[in-house]
Chains A and B, each alone.
Chain A
Amino acid sequence: MIKAYVTIAAISALLVSGCQSEEPEPAPLANGIIYCSEGNPDTFNPQLVTSGTTVDATAAQLYDRLIDYDAEQQQFIPALAKRWETLDNGTRYRFHLREGIQFHSTGYFQPTRALTAEDVQFSFNRWLDETSLYHPVSGGSYPFFSATGLDQLIQKVVKIDEMTVDIVLNNADSSFLANLATDFAIILSAEYAQQLLVNDHPEQIDLLPIGTGPYRFENYRKDVLIRYSRHPEYWRQGPGIEHLVYSITPNANKRMLKLVTGECDIIPYPLVSELNALNREQLIVTNEVSPNVSFWAFNTQKEPFDDPMVRRALSHAINREAIIQTIYYGNAELAQSILPPTSWAYDNKGIQYQYAPEKAKRLLKEAGHSDLNITIWAMPVQRVYNPNARRMAELMQSDLAQIGVSARIVSYEWNTFRRRLSRGEHDTVLIGWYADNADPDNFFRPLLSCAAVATGGNRANWCHPGFDQLLYSAIATTKPEERKALYQSAQHLLNQQQPLLPIAHSKRFQAQQRNISGVELPPYGGINFRLATKSTAEDETQ
C-alpha cells in the first residue's frame, strides 16, 4: 500500500513537471506550423474539384500556375511563365517558361529534369483532351473547366520548343487569363505521370501529388492530418518553416479551443464573436473581403420547385436580416444579387428579395400548394460564405413553419453530401460560392449555366436557354459597357425566376497566433502558405 502511494506521488510529480517546463520549444515545433483545416480534401489535384477545402489544402501549397493574379495591383504577374504575349487577335497566347524549375523530390518520385513545355502540355491535356491517357483517371470530371467553358474555349496546346508553349483558342475570350491565374490551372509533372503509367498506377497522380509548389507532400491520414514539408529547391522565395501540417478539425468550437490551447497556429472560419469575447492577447483575427455568396438553391427539376411562383413564395418566407445577425453576427452583407456589390457588373435596381410572410402564404396558395413538405440540405462544414449552415437551416425551418411549410434538415459528411447533391437528390440546399477570379462571369457560368447542370455545379439544376444566351453573349464581347448591360439583364432574369435565393456576402475570417506571419488569404482562391514564417519566443521578447 505504501508502495502504491509512492507510485502515485511519483507519477503526479512527473506530470506536473511535464506541464510546467519553461524550456524553449523543441525544434520540430519551432519550425512547423499547424493549420487546423475544416475538412478532408477530396483529392490532391485541384483540377478535379471546385471544393474550397481541397483548394485550400492543395493548390497554392503543392503547385504553381503559369501566371498569378496580384489582387492589390489588379494585374496578372509572371509565375512559371516568365512572360507571355497575345497573338492572332487574341486567339493565341504564347507562354515563355522560366528555366530550372524543379519538381518535388519525394520518397515515391525523383525528377530527372526541370519543368519543360511538355509538363504544361500534359497538365492542360489532362482536362482538355478526352483522348489523353490521363483524362479518365479519377473520374474524368473537371468541373471548374467545364463550368467555365475553358475546355470548349481552348482548341489545343502546342509545344513550340522546350521552353515555349502556345495555347490556341477557338475564339477571343476576355476571361481567359483570369481563368489561367486561378487555383485550378495548375501544372503537373509529365515525367511523374509517365512513371506511374509504367507502374500501372495512374490514379496515384492525384493521391501522391508531385508539383513545383513551395511544399511537397509527405502523407495524409483521412480525418486526422495532411503533412507537408518545405520544397528545398523552390524557385522563388519560399516559406520560413520546415513543416506544414493540416490538422483536420471539422468542429468549429473545437477549432477555436485548439487555437486557444496552442494546438493550432491558424484556424479558418473562427467563431469571431466568441473569440473576441475570449480576448486573448496572443491571438489575432484577420479578415479579408472576399467575393462570395451564400444562397438557398431550389432543385428546379423536382416538383413543386419547377414552379417559379413556389420558389418566390418560399423566398419571401425567409427572414434574411435575422440570419445575418444570428449566423454571421453581422459580419456579412445582405445579398441583393448573386454578384457581390464590389463587382463592376453588380446591379440592384429593381431587385428585391424582401421578407414578407403574408405574401409568401398568398403566393403559395395561388400556386396551389397548402401542405408542403420539403427538405433543406445543410452542408456539414463551415465555408467562408456560410459559417453554420445547419443553424441557418434551423432558422429557416421556423420561418417556413410560419407559412405552413414543414421542412426537414438533411446533412451528410461533406463528400457524400456533394456527391448526392450532384445526383439531384435534394429538394433545396443551403450552399454557396466564392469566386476564383475577378471576372463576374465566374459567378454565373459555374453556378447557373446549363453546362453546370451536367457537371453538378448547378445546385438548382436550372437550365434556362435565354439566361445561357445572355452569359455567352457577355463573354464574347470585350467591351465593358456591353458586358455590364448583359450581366444586368441576367440579374433581372434571375430575380424573376429565382432558382435560388441569395442570402449573404460574408467576409472571410481567420484567427492565428501572433507569432505567425506571411500567411496570405487572397481574395480569389485558397489560403497560401508560401511565405509563412513562425517567430520563436526569443524573437518576440527582443
Chain B
Amino acid sequence: MTRYLAGRLSVFIIAVFLLTVFSFSLNYFFPGDPITNMSGVRSFQSSYPLIMEMRGGKENIATQYMHYLHHLFTGNWGQSLSNGTPVFDDGIQHFVASMELIILALLVAVTLGLPLGVFAASRFRQGSDKAVVSLAMVGYSVPVFWLAQLMILLFAIKLGWFPITGQINPLYGVEPQTGSIFIDVFLSNSEYKAAALQDAINHIVLPVMILAIMPMMLLLRLMRNATQEMLQKPFIKAARARGLSEWRVLVKHAIPNALQAVLQQTTLLFSLMLTNSIVVESIFNWPGMGNWLIRSIFERDYPIIQSAVLMFAFVILFFNLLVELYHGWRFPIVRHEQYATR
C-alpha cells in the first residue's frame, strides 16, 4: 500500500506542478502587464511598486515563479481587476457553492442510479430492463442546457413550483459567508430561518435535478453492465447452488464486486459533472465556480480567470487522487495490477 500511495502521490504532485507552471505562464500569455494579471493591481495604483517588489517583478522568471508559488500557497491570489475584491476569499465562496450543488447532485445520482442499474441487471433482457436502459440512453444523450430549458418551462413557468435563479430569495437577507446556502441560512440572523430554508430548498431543486440526470444515467448503465457481468461469474453460480436467495446473491456477492468497476469510472463522472456545472450555474445564476469563471472571461478579469481554471483543474486532480487511493485501499487487486504493469 505504501508503494502504491507513494506512486499515486508523486503523480499528483507532478500534475499540480505542471498546472501551476501553466497558470503562471498564463500571466504572460494574457495581454498587458504580467504583474497586473497576477495581482489585479494596476500600474498606476499606489500599491503597485510594493506588489512588484513582493512578486519579484524585476527579477528573473524562475524567481518570479517561486514568488508566484509562495503567493499561491499562502492564499494570496491577488484582487479582482473589475471590483478589487480579494480573489481567494471570493474563490472559496464560489467553490463551496459549487460543491454544494455537485455533491447533492452526486448523492441524487448515486441513490437513484445505482439501484436502478441493479434492478435492470436483475431483470436482464426483460421488458423492464429494456425500458430502464432506453430511458438511460435518452437521459444521457439530452444536452444539459436544453434539458434545463425544458425543466424551467415545465416546473417553473407552467407549474410554478420552483424559482429559477440564485440560491435564495434576496428579501430574506441571507448574506453569503461560507458560500453554502444551507450553512449560510443557519449562520444568518434572520428571524425567518425555517421559511428561508424552505426557500433555499426550493431554489436548489431544479439545478440539482438537472445536474444529476446525466451522471445518474451513466451510473445506471455502468452498474447494470457490471452487475450483469458479475451475475455470469462462476462464484455466483456457486452461491446460488448453495441455496442463497436471489436477494442475498445480489446484495452480498454481485453488487460489492460490481461496485469496483463502477468506482473506477467515478472520476470520469466527476469531471463530467464539473463541466456540466458550468452550464447549470450559468443558467440558474448559481454563484459557483462555473458562473465565476464565465463572468471573469467576459470581463477579462485575468486574476480570476487563472484562479478559476486552477481551481477547476485542482479539484479534478484531487478527486482523482482520492478515488484512486480509496480504490487501492478497498480493492487490493487494483494495487497488484498497478505493480504488474510497471
Contacts and interface: CB of A to CB of B under 8 A. Distances in A.
B40 interface: no
Interface stretch (A118-126, A170-178, A219-227): A219-227
B169 A1 contact: no
Given A257-B157, A416-B300, A27 B169 contact: no
A54 to B, nearest CB: 15
B202 interface: yes
Interface in A40-90: none
Nearest to B174: A28
Interface in A3-33: 4-5, 7-8, 14-15, 18-21, 26-29, 31-32
Nearest to B110: A4
A258 B295 contact: no
Contacts of A29: 169, 171-172
Interface stretch (B137-145, B158-166, B232-240, B333-341): B158-166
A260 interface: yes
A439 interface: no
B172 A258 contact: no
A140 to B, nearest CB: 14
A261 B164 contact: yes
A385 to B, nearest CB: 24
B281 to A, nearest CB: 13
Contacts of B192: 26-28
B165 A32 contact: no
Given A258-B165, A260-B157, A413 B299 contact: yes
A222 B80 CA distance: 11
A21 B163 contact: no
A415 B83 CA distance: 11
A200 to B, nearest CB: 12
B1 interface: no
B170 A19 contact: no
Contacts of A7: 111
B94 to A, nearest CB: 12
A245 interface: yes
A29 B175 CA distance: 16
Nearest to A223: B295
A34 B170 contact: yes
Nearest to A30: B171
B198 A18 contact: yes
Interface residues of B, number: 38
Contacts of A224: 166, 287
Given A18-B198, A26-B192, A263 B165 contact: yes
Contacts of A243: 171, 173
B201 A18 contact: yes
Interface string B179-220: 000000000001110010010011001000000000000000
A262 B157 CA distance: 10
B171 A245 contact: yes
Contact of B298 (A21, A249, A413): A413
Contacts of A32: 171
A34 B164 contact: no
Interface in A130-178: none
A221 B83 CA distance: 10
Nearest to B191: A27
B310 interface: no
B152 interface: yes
B82 A15 contact: no
Nearest to A413: B299
B202 A18 contact: yes
A261 B163 contact: yes
Nearest to A243: B171
Contacts of A413: 82, 298-299
Contacts of A261: 156-157, 160, 162-164
B164 A258 contact: yes
B303 to A, nearest CB: 15
B202 A19 contact: yes
B121 to A, nearest CB: 13
A257 B156 CA distance: 9
A408 interface: no
A377 to B, nearest CB: 16
A226 B195 CA distance: 22
A464 interface: no
B152 A257 contact: yes
B251 interface: yes
Interface in A205-228: 219, 221-225, 227
A20 B201 CA distance: 13
Nearest to B284: A254
Contact of A34 (B115, B160, B162, B171): B171
A247 interface: yes
Given A15-B205, A243-B173, A254-B165, A26 B157 contact: no
B40 to A, nearest CB: 14
B231 to A, nearest CB: 16
A115 to B, nearest CB: 29
B171 A4 contact: no
Contacts of A31: 171
B16 interface: no
Nearest to B111: A4
Contacts of A18: 198, 201-202
A34 to B, nearest CB: 6
B202 A222 contact: no
Contacts of A34: 169-171
A227 B128 CA distance: 53
A227 B295 CA distance: 22
A253 B227 CA distance: 45
B112 interface: yes
A227 B173 contact: yes
Contacts of B251: 1
Interface string A480-517: 00000000000000000000000000000000000000
Contacts of A263: 163-166, 169
B201 A28 contact: no
B198 A249 contact: no
Interface in B90-112: 111-112
A21 B287 contact: no
Given A15-B201, A260-B157, A263-B163, A219 B175 contact: yes
B157, B171, B205, most chain A CB atoms within 10 A: B171
Contact of B299 (A4, A219, A416): A416
Contact of B195 (A26, A223, A245, A254): A26
A19 B161 CA distance: 5
Contacts of A416: 299-300
A281 to B, nearest CB: 13
Contacts of B190: 28
Interface in B287-315: 287, 295, 298-300
A457 B169 CA distance: 37
Interface string B251-292: 100000000000000000000000000000000010100000
Nearest to B167: A224
A257 B251 CA distance: 46
A179 B202 CA distance: 48
Given A1-B251, A258-B163, 12 more contacts: A1-B115, A15-B201, A26-B192, A222-B83, A227-B173, A243-B171, A254-B164, A257-B157, A258-B164, A261-B157, A261-B163, A415-B82
25 contacts: A1-B115, A5-B115, A18-B202, A19-B202, A20-B161, A21-B198, A26-B195, A28-B171, A29-B171, A32-B171, A34-B170, A227-B173, A257-B157, A258-B164, A260-B157, A261-B160, A261-B162, A262-B160, A262-B163, A263-B164, A263-B165, A263-B166, A413-B299, A416-B299, A416-B300
Interface of B: 82-83, 85, 111-112, 115, 152, 156-157, 160-166, 169-173, 175-176, 190-192, 195, 198, 201-202, 205, 251, 285, 287, 295, 298-300
* 6 closest residue pairs by CB, A with B: A32-B171, A26-B195, A19-B161, A245-B170, A28-B171, A413-B299
